[in-house]
Amino acid sequence: MDKQKKNSPFRIFLRKFLKQRLAVFAFGLVIMILLVGIFGPLFAPYDPHRPVTAQYADKGIDVDQLTSSTVQLEGRLSNGEVVDQSELPQLQTETENRRIASIRRTQSGVQISANTSGATEAVIESGDVSSVAEILVEGEVPLDDVEPIVSQIIIAQPEEAFSIGDEYQINFEALKTDGSEITTIEELRAYTEEKYGADEEEDTSGFQSGSSENEDSASFQLRSLTEDVVTVNEQGVVQFEEEGEGIVQIQSGDVSSVVQFQVGNEQVEPILTGIYLESTTVELTDAYKHQTPSSMHIFGTDHQNRDILSRVIHGTKETLLIGFVSVAIGTVIGTVLGLLAGYYGGWLDSLVTRMTDVLLAFPGILLAIAVIAFLGAGLTNIIFAVAVFTIPVFIRIVRASTLSLKEMTYVEAAKSIGVPNTVIIFRHIFPGTLSVVMVYLTMRIGVAILIGAALSFLGLGGDITAPEWGSMLSAAKDNSSNIFHATFFPGLAIVITVLSFNIFGDGLRDALDPKLKE
């Protein structure tokens, strides 16, 4: 009993198969893919048909946190005191390009929200002083070559009082967003002309709505706001002319600061000399489209902001359906025709063989396209198209093995005792062809998935919004051709699936019938 068990054909097969570690691994993968195909939709983190931003609320995720960031700001007074945002007079906030980001005031600072990807600047202005924050919204456009800009100017505030006739050299630091500083007037003038000169040209052609349109801000200024008290020359030397309060402003485009002088003995009211931002660069992600892979969306999101991971998981079912159903149809029809042609021979055989030859002369994909051309686009038609090009393969192999099995002594014996042909075919010949059919079945599923995906990639699957791997790639090609993650992951899913089936099929072939090996 024990001995017989060891030598049963299934045992031998199992032993041979388990020896091929790669094939066993591939088999494991195939099982996993099947499980994902069946149960995947239960685990998919998001609804594959709707934008994720519409689903965040259901999942208790705060959208604001992803797309906006709060920047604390404070004002410094000329006497060195610090005031917070609520005490700043005439606070105005604006972004250069509202399509990219918008800004609004909050309790403790300003909140900047991303609208779409790109780079822009936020101007925060209070009276004569203003600062600028650079806003970078990561998205489909790579932002690596964004120039650092001057964000704030800090002018050294003299504490002593001056008397008429004194001269004073202004010292300042213009802080750039990359951390560097400009400290000389010439450099700052050159920088301003380069930056805002270029900006003005853009303004005439584009649709930007920004404060740079007004003459005043689009230039470098070093001027006295109280001409009768102090004057300032081009080199930044301040002359004190009268007693009273003197204010000098340095402006570089949208950024400006002032310095206050007390001339004479009369005390002056402290004024706001500068706005200081907690962070000068605000980096945000565009969460409305093409989110890059992150912990929330492992595969990122697509052009309609749908979660790619969920779509890949949902797509498994359809892809496997195309592969299995089409190959099953092809196998059944092909096997029956192959058995009949091989067993009966004659005109039936030559007709079937001729048909097979013609069909096999065409490359599979074109044959399938031709079938779709007849039937029209659609998922069922894709399945049928793939089945059509699977049929001849099975006819050929089943017919070949039927021809050799027909000559077996046991078939002859069955015939001689008068067993009907149908019984001979299905009880004595068909089981003999089964191992070859099984091998080809697994091998063809990979090919069928490939062709099916190609057909839906070509837009022949009917519904192009369906979460199917081929149509996902097709949509990615049209809408996000420069986004890596949108094109990468659906394709990777196809490759892994097809590769698993192919390696599994190879292993099955080696274990079942070593003669089949090329």
Partner 1 sequence: MIPILFIITIIAFLFVHLTPGDPIRIMYGAEIDQETYEQMREREGFNDPLVVQYGRYMYNMAIQGDFGQSYRTRSDVSEEVLRRFGYTFILTILSMFWAILIGVTVGIISATKRNSILDRLGMISTITALSIPEFWFGLMMMQIFAVQFGWFPTSGSGTWLHLILPSLTLGFGVAATIVRFTRSSVLEVLREDYVRTARAKGQKESVVIWSHVLRNALIPVVTMAGLQFGFLIGGAVVVEQVFAWPGLGSYLIDGILTRDYPVIQALILLFSFQFLLINLLVDISYGFLNPQIRYE
Q: Which one of 63-71, 216-224, 277-285, 453-461 is the stretch in contact with partner 1 (CB under 8 A)? A: 453-461
Query: Minimal CA–CA distance to 169: which of 244, 212, 222?
Result: 222
Residue of 454, 475, 511, 512 that binds partner 1 (CB under 8 A): 454
| Residue 373 binding partner 1, by CB under 8 A | yes
Contact at 8 Å (CB) between 144 and 130?
A: no
CB of 444 to partner 1, least distance (A): 13
| Residue 476 binding partner 1, by CB under 8 A | yes
CA distances, 153 to each of 150, 253, 273, 356, 405 (Å)? 8, 11, 10, 81, 92
CA distances, 400 to each of 331, 348, 356, 404, 433 (Å)? 15, 15, 13, 7, 9
Q: Write phi, then psi, for 163 (nearest 5 degrees).
A: -120, 160
| Residue 487 binding partner 1, by CB under 8 A | yes
The 328-367 site mask, x for binding partner 1 (CB under 8 A), equals: ------------------------------x--xxxxxx-
Q: Which one of 211-219, 304-312, 429-437, 450-458 is the stretch in contact with partner 1 (CB under 8 A)? A: 450-458
- Burial class (CB within 10 angstroms; exposed 0-12, middle 13-18, buried 19+) of 13: middle
Give whichever of 246 and 364 is closer to partner 1, judged by the CB atom.
Answer: 364
Give whichever of 343 and 469 is closer to partner 1, judged by the CB atom.
Answer: 469
CB of 472 to partner 1, least distance (A): 11
Residue of 60, 165, 346, 376 that binds partner 1 (CB under 8 A): 376
Residue of 488, 510, 513, 516 that binds partner 1 (CB under 8 A): 488
**Cα–Cα distance between 338 and 335 in angstroms, integer?**
5
| Residue 518 binding partner 1, by CB under 8 A | yes
**Cα–Cα distance between 92 and 123 in angstroms, integer?**
8
CB of 458 to partner 1, least distance (A): 5
Contact at 8 Å (CB) between 144 and 283?
A: no
Give the helix/strand (H/E) hosting 370: helix 364-375
- Residues with Cβ within 8 Å of residue 333, at least 6 apart in sequence: 387, 391, 394
SS3 216: helix
Residue type, 42: L
Give the helix/strand (H/E) hosting 277: strand 272-277
| Residue 482 binding partner 1, by CB under 8 A | yes
Residue of 258, 473, 475, 512 that binds partner 1 (CB under 8 A): 473
CB of 104 to partner 1, least distance (A): 35
Residue of 503, 508, 511, 512 that binds partner 1 (CB under 8 A): 503
Residues forming the site for partner 1 (CB under 8 A): 358, 361-366, 369-370, 372-374, 376-377, 446, 450, 453-454, 457-460, 470, 473, 476-477, 481-482, 484, 487-488, 490-491, 494-495, 498-499, 502-503, 506, 518
